[in-house]
A = this chain, B = another copy of it.
Amino acid sequence: MSHRVRIDEDRARQAFESALAEHTQAFGTFFLARFLGLEISYGDDCCIVEFETADFMFNPQGSLHGGVIVTAMDISMGHLLNHLQGPGMTLELKTQFVRAVRGGRVKAVGKAIRRGAGISFMGSTFFDADGELAAFATSTWKSLARPVPGASEERR
Contact = CB atoms under 8 A, between A and B. Distances in A.
Contacts of A74: 65-67, 70
Contacts of A99: 114
A129 interface: no
A18 interface: no
Given A61-B148, A66-B90, A13 B24 contact: no
Interface in A94-143: 94-100, 113-114, 118-119, 121, 133, 136, 138, 140, 142
B96 A91 contact: yes
A142 B61 CA distance: 14
Interface-centre pick from A62, A66, A74, A150 (highest chain B CB count, 10 A): A66
Contacts of A136: 113, 138
A60 interface: yes
A107 to B, nearest CB: 16
Contacts of A90: 66, 97
A56 B71 contact: no
Contact of A57 (B32, B59, B60): B32
Nearest to A132: B114
Given A91-B119, A99-B114, A151 B23 contact: no
| 10 tightest A-B CB contacts, nearest first | A67-B71, A94-B94, A92-B96, A70-B70, A31-B56, A98-B114, A16-B16, A27-B60, A7-B31, A61-B148
